[in-house]
Structure 1
Amino acid sequence: MTRLRHYLGAGTLAVMAGAAWQPVLAEDGQAILNAKCMACHTPEGNNSLSRISHQRKTPEGWLMSIARMQVMYGVKVTDEERRDLVKFLADRQGLAPSETDGVRYALERRLNTVEEFDTNFEQMCARCHSGARIALQRRPAAEWEKLVHFHLGRWPSLEYQALSRDRDWFELAKKEMVPELAKRYPFDSKAWSDWQKSMPKAESLAGQWSFAGHMPGKGEVAGTMEVASSGGDKFKVTVKGKYADGSPFNGEGSAVLYSGYEWRGNVSIDGVAMRQVFAASKGALQGRMFEKAHDERGLDFVAAQKGTARVLAVQPGYLKAGEEAEVSIVGSDLSGKPAFGKGIEVVSVVSQTPERVTVKVKAGADAAAGLHEVSVGAVKGGSLAVYSDIAEVKVVPEFSIARIGGGGGSTPKVQGRFDAEAWGKGADGQPYRIGVFPAKWSVEPFDERAKEDEDVKYAGVMDAATGVFLPGDAGPNPARKMMTNNAGNLKVIAAVDEGGKSLKGEGHMIVTVQRWNNPPIP
Structure 2
Amino acid sequence: MKRKLRSGMSASLLALAACAALHAPQSMAARDAQTILKETCQGCHTPEADNALSRISHQRKTPEGWLMSIARMQVMHGLQISDDDRRTLVKYLADTQGLAPSETDGVRYALERRLNTVEQFDEQTSQMCGRCHSGARVALQRRPAQEWERLVNFHLGQWPSLEYQALSRDRDWFDLARKEMVPLLAKRYPLDNPAWKTWQQTAPKAQTLVGDWSFSGHLPGKGELAGIMSVSADGDDTFKVSVKGQYADGTAFNGDGSAILYSGYEWRGNVTVDGVVMRQVFAAKGSELQGRMFEAEHDERGLDFLAAKQGSSRLLAVQPGYLKAGSETEVTLIGSGLQGQPDFGKGVQVLEVISQSPEQIKVRLKAAADAQPGVRAVTLGSLKGPSLSVYQQIAEVKVVPEFSVARIGDGGGSTPKVQGRFDAEAWGKGADGKPYRIGVFPAQWKVEAFDDRAREDEDVKFAGTMQADSGVFTPGDAGPNPARKMSTNNAGNLKVIAAVDDAGKSLTGEGHLIVTVQRWNNPPIP
| TM-score in terms of structure 1 length | 0.98
User: Deviation at 1:378?
Assistant: 2.7
Say whether the 8 Å CA contact 1:459–1:472 is kept in structure 2.
yes
Alignment length, in residue pairs?
A: 519
Say whether the 8 Å CA contact 1:23–1:231 is kept in structure 2.
no
Q: Matches of 2:56 and 2:75 in 1, distance apart?
A: 17
Q: Secondary structure at the match of 2:48?
A: strand
For residues 262-411 of structure 1, the aligned pairs below 5 Å read: 262-411=266-415
For residues 244-255 of structure 1, the aligned pairs below 5 Å read: 244-255=248-259
User: Deviation at 1:45?
Assistant: 2.7
Equivalent position amino acid for 2:24 in 1 = G
Say whether the 8 Å CA contact 1:8–1:63 is kept in structure 2.
no
The equivalent of 2:23 in structure 1 is 17
Gaps of 5+ in 2: 4-9
User: Deviation at 1:504?
Assistant: 0.2
- Deviations 1:359-390, CA, capped at 9 Å, x for gaps: 00000011121111112233222111100010
The equivalent of 2:14 in structure 1 is 7
Say whether the 8 Å CA contact 2:215–2:228 is kept in structure 1.
yes
The equivalent of 1:509 in structure 2 is 513
- Deviations 1:75-96, CA, capped at 9 Å, x for gaps: 1111000000000000000000
Q: Matches of 1:159 and 1:265 in 2, distance apart?
A: 40
The equivalent of 2:90 in structure 1 is 86
- Identical residues among aligned pairs (%): 71
- Correspondence for 2:105 among 89, 96, 101: 101
- Deviations 1:391-446, CA, capped at 9 Å, x for gaps: 10000000000000000000000000000000001112111110000000000000
Say whether the 8 Å CA contact 1:263–1:279 is kept in structure 2.
yes
Equivalent position amino acid for 2:199 in 1 = W
For residues 84-483 of structure 1, the aligned pairs below 5 Å read: 84-483=88-487
User: Deviation at 1:114?
Assistant: 0.7
Say whether the 8 Å CA contact 1:58–1:137 is kept in structure 2.
yes
Say whether the 8 Å CA contact 2:293–2:302 is kept in structure 1.
yes
Say whether the 8 Å CA contact 1:62–1:89 is kept in structure 2.
yes
User: Deviation at 1:5?
Assistant: 2.1
Q: Matches of 1:230 and 1:164 in 2, distance apart?
A: 49
Q: Secondary structure at the match of 1:180?
A: helix
Q: Secondary structure at the match of 2:298?
A: coil
User: Deviation at 1:118?
Assistant: 1.1
User: Deviation at 1:20?
Assistant: 5.2
User: Deviation at 1:9?
Assistant: 2.4
Q: Matches of 1:56 and 1:403 in 2, distance apart?
A: 33
Q: Secondary structure at the match of 1:133?
A: helix
Equivalent position amino acid for 1:14 in 2 = A
Equivalent position amino acid for 2:337 in 1 = D
Say whether the 8 Å CA contact 1:209–1:303 is kept in structure 2.
yes
Say whether the 8 Å CA contact 1:236–1:254 is kept in structure 2.
yes
User: Deviation at 1:23?
Assistant: 10
Equivalent position amino acid for 2:21 in 1 = V
Gaps of 5+ in 1: none
Equivalent position amino acid for 2:178 in 1 = K
RMSD: 1.3
Q: Matches of 2:37 and 2:111 in 1, distance apart?
A: 25
The equivalent of 2:6 in structure 1 is none
User: Deviation at 1:18?
Assistant: 2.1
1:387/1:136 CA distance change after superposition, 3 Å: same
Q: Matches of 1:88 and 1:204 in 2, distance apart?
A: 20
The equivalent of 2:39 in structure 1 is 35
Q: Matches of 1:64 and 1:194 in 2, distance apart?
A: 26
1:313/1:21 CA distance change after superposition, 3 Å: farther
Q: Matches of 1:53 and 1:511 in 2, distance apart?
A: 42
Say whether the 8 Å CA contact 2:27–2:84 is kept in structure 1.
yes
Q: Secondary structure at the match of 1:9?
A: helix
Say whether the 8 Å CA contact 2:25–2:260 is kept in structure 1.
no
- Correspondence for 2:79 among 64, 75, 91: 75
- Deviations 1:22-41, CA, capped at 9 Å, x for gaps: 598xx921111111110100
1:20/1:193 CA distance change after superposition, 3 Å: closer
